[in-house]
Amino acid sequence: MKRIYYILYGLLCLFITTNLQAQKETPPPGGKPKDFKLPAKKVTTLDNGLKASLVPYGAVPKVTVSLQIQTGNVHEKADEVWLADLTGNLMKEGTTSQNAQAISEAAARMGGDVNIFVGPASTTISGSVLAEYAPDLIKLMADIVQHPAFPASEVDRLKNDLQRQLKIQQSQPQSQAQAKFAAMMYPDHPYGRFFPTEDMIKSYDLAKIKSFYEQNFGAQRSRLYVVGKFDENAVNKAIKESLTGWTKGPERNIPVPKPASKQEVTTIDRPNAPQSTIIIGLPVIDPSNPDYLALSLTNDLLGGSFGSRITSNIRENKGYTYSPSSSVASRYRSATWAEQADVTTEHTEASLKEIFYEINKLQAEAPGKEELEGIKNYKAGIFVLQNSSHNGIINQLSFLDLHGLDESYLTNYVKNIYAITPEKVQEIAQKYIREEDMTLVVVGDRKKVDSQIKSFTSEVNKAQSTK
> What is the tens place of the pLDDT at every residue in 112-125?
999 999 999 999 99
pTM, two decimal places: 0.89
Give one DSSP letter per residue of 301-361, joined into a string.
IIIISTTSHHHIIIIIIS-SBS--EEEEEEETTEEEEEEEEEEEGGGHHHHHHHHHHHHHH
Per-residue pLDDT at 396: 94
Question: Among residues of the chain, what percentage have pLDDT more than 90?
Answer: 84
Closest CA to 264 of 433, 432, 438: 438
406 has a pLDDT exceeding 80: yes
Is residue 425 within 8 Å of residue 372, measured between CB atoms? yes
pLDDT 10s digits, 407-429: 999 999 999 999 999 999 999 99
pLDDT 10s digits, 24-65: 566 666 667 777 787 889 999 999 999 999 999 999 999 999
pLDDT 10s digits, 368-392: 999 999 999 999 999 988 888 999 9
Look up residue 411 and give its amino acid.
T
Mean of the pLDDT values across residues 271-286? 97
465 has a pLDDT exceeding 70: no
d(CA 389, CA 406): 21
Is residue 290 within 8 Å of residue 464, measured between CB atoms? no
d(CA 93, CA 100): 5
Q: What is the mean pLDDT of the chain?
A: 92
Instruction: List the domains of the chain with CATH numbers.
Output: 42-244 (3.30.830.10), 264-466 (3.30.830.10)
Confidence of residue 231 (pLDDT cuts 50, 70, 90): very high
Is residue 391 within 8 Å of residue 342, measured between CB atoms? no
pLDDT 10s digits, 152-173: 999 999 999 999 999 999 999 9
Look up residue 206 and give its amino acid.
L
Question: Among residues of the chain, what percentage have pLDDT more than 70?
Answer: 91
